[in-house]
Structure 1
Amino acid sequence: MGEQTQEIRDQLLDAALLHVVFDGWSETSFKAAVDDSGIDPALAMALFPRGALDLALAYHKRGDEVMKTRLAATDLTQMRFRDRVALAVRYRLEAAEDKEAVRRGATLFALPTHAAEGAKLVWGTADAIWNALGDTSEDANWYSKRATLSGVYSATVLFWLGDDSADHQATWDFLDRRIDNVMQIETLKASAQKNPLLKPFLAGPNFLASLVRKPTSVDDLPGRWTQSGMGTGGMGAGGMGPDSAAE
């Protein structure tokens, strides 16, 4: 996408945000954004073929990019891994800026016709966070990490939408509790893997999990099975990262 095209997309999205608070991510907002921005309607439709739905998708993905840029500029070296994850989720929520736009988006993607798009966006955010934090998993852990974080992120967004505490402190406390819950589960899973009594029962599931590989690209979902034995990695601790159980 050329720089000029991106500027036009951003201009149209910024114009739409002024109307979303009143009319949601609707055709009304899309048409008003086209009128306000002065962009040719045919060009607007070429850039956003599904109108307001594509604008809502662009708004969410813009937040992902802002989060990634902010994380890249932050020194995370002295932080525990679980705190890095919490910070990334916080950065992502703060990138939204307009809570009402997020609320309207949640309403839009709760509709059965758009639920798949909404789930894909949440998964994409979780994937962006893990990639930004340097995740190198290749096996089933690639999926479990993103699935777990998708749940944490979704729950935190819903809490954040109703949070009126100072600086959203109640939301950050809620987020910490959710991550602590995940850490407890991962510690239990790691202990089970080391338990000699349970190892025989886990051998089969671990073998199957070792054959799973992450997608080679965004178009390769849901991924693939290897054909060459055990592969590498196995189930491991899974969840929130290779060092998460210890932290």
Structure 2
Amino acid sequence: MTEISQNPKEQLLDAALMHVPFDGWSETTFQAAIADTGIDSTVARAVCPRGSVDLAVAYHKRGDALMIDRMNAEDLSEMKYRDKIAAMVRFRLEAVTDKEVVRRGTTLFALPQHASDGAKLVWGTCDAIWDALGDTSDDVNWYTKRATLSAVYSSTVLYWLGDTSDGHQATWEFLDRRIDNVMQIEKVKAQVRNSPTLSKLLTGPNWLLSHVKAPSRVSKMGLPGSWTSPRR
């Protein structure tokens, strides 16, 4: 019997990873983790009220932490910004030691009742990437950056799951293409802003969006964003 540590959830997660490739993030896996660790079932249910779903969430967040650790151990100072983003996504995927565990997770979070959890986790990963790279945006760009990267990250994960190329080289090339697409969008946006005609057409929408603030501005409210009432 394993001695209960200060963090039973981590202990349960470590034990569950042995069963996920066979039984998924299921109640069967959760019960097996309890049996393997010897943790009291009441304690296990207290730290993971939803059983394996909470363990799957913890597993994803562990991967985010490993990504940040990898970034801190690497020298990205000479990289272009787009290459830093690509590197962070790559670090995140390379933190995975068993693809099947992630595959089972995508199946779990594709279910309607858990889809919101999956969306929050992807958003959280992309938020962690932007924060780690020093993003200081505090307006609508805070949202657009994370939404755009979420699309890039999600599509790259799906491609990576089916990639059998040596060293996942095909995935990294796919990732570079997706980021290049995003950079093209940013270039078009810059052209629109610099166009006297188009910039005037967008004066209204831009004024409206200027009142959207990043969450950090309203942290006490516990909301994902805010709306600043226009001055009269």
| Bucket of the pairwise TM-score, normalised by the shorter protein | over 0.9
Unaligned runs of 5+ in 2: none
Indicate which of 226, 229, 232 corresponds to 2:228: 226
Residue 188 (structure 2) aligns with: 188
Tell me, in whole angstroms, the C-alpha distance in 2 between the residues paired with 1:53 and 1:179: 31
Deviation, 1:147, is 0.1
Residue 133 (structure 1) aligns with: 133
Residue 97 (structure 2) aligns with: 97
Q: Secondary structure at the match of 1:46?
A: helix
Q: Is the counterpart of residue 58 in structure 1 residue 52 in structure 2?
A: no
Tell me, in whole angstroms, the C-alpha distance in 1 between the residues paired with 2:230 and 2:201: 22
Q: What amino acid sits opposite 2:54 in the alignment?
A: D
Residue 154 (structure 2) aligns with: 154
Deviation, 1:228, is 5.6
Deviation, 1:227, is 3.3
Contact 1:19 1:29 in 2 (8 A): yes
Greater helix fraction, Structure 1 or Structure 2? 2
* CA distance 1:128–1:10, change in 2 (3 Å): same
- Output aligned runs, 1:1-247, within 5 Å: 4-6=5-7, 8-216=8-216, 217=219, 220-227=222-229
Q: Secondary structure at the match of 1:39?
A: coil
1:55-105 C-alpha deviation (Å, 9 max, x unpaired):
000000000011011112222111000000000000001112211010000
How large is the RMSD of aligned CA atoms in angstroms? 1.4
Tell me, in whole angstroms, the C-alpha distance in 2 between the residues paired with 1:27 and 1:210: 47
Q: What amino acid sits opposite 1:141 in the alignment?
A: N
Question: Higher RCO, 1 or 2 (CA under 8 Å, sep at least 6)?
Answer: 1
Deviation, 1:155, is 0.1
Q: What amino acid sits opposite 1:60 in the alignment?
A: H
Tell me, in whole angstroms, the C-alpha distance in 2 between the residues paired with 1:219 and 1:64: 26
The range that moved more, 218-227 or 100-109, is: 218-227
Tell me, in whole angstroms, the C-alpha distance in 1 between the residues paired with 2:171 and 2:210: 36
Q: What amino acid sits opposite 2:30 in the alignment?
A: F
Q: What amino acid sits opposite 1:155 in the alignment?
A: S
Deviation, 1:13, is 0.4
What TM-score comes out, normalization by structure 1 length? 0.88
Deviation, 1:222, is 2.9
Tell me, in whole angstroms, the C-alpha distance in 1 between the residues paired with 2:12 and 2:166: 32
Q: What amino acid sits opposite 1:56 in the alignment?
A: A
Deviation, 1:218, is 9.8
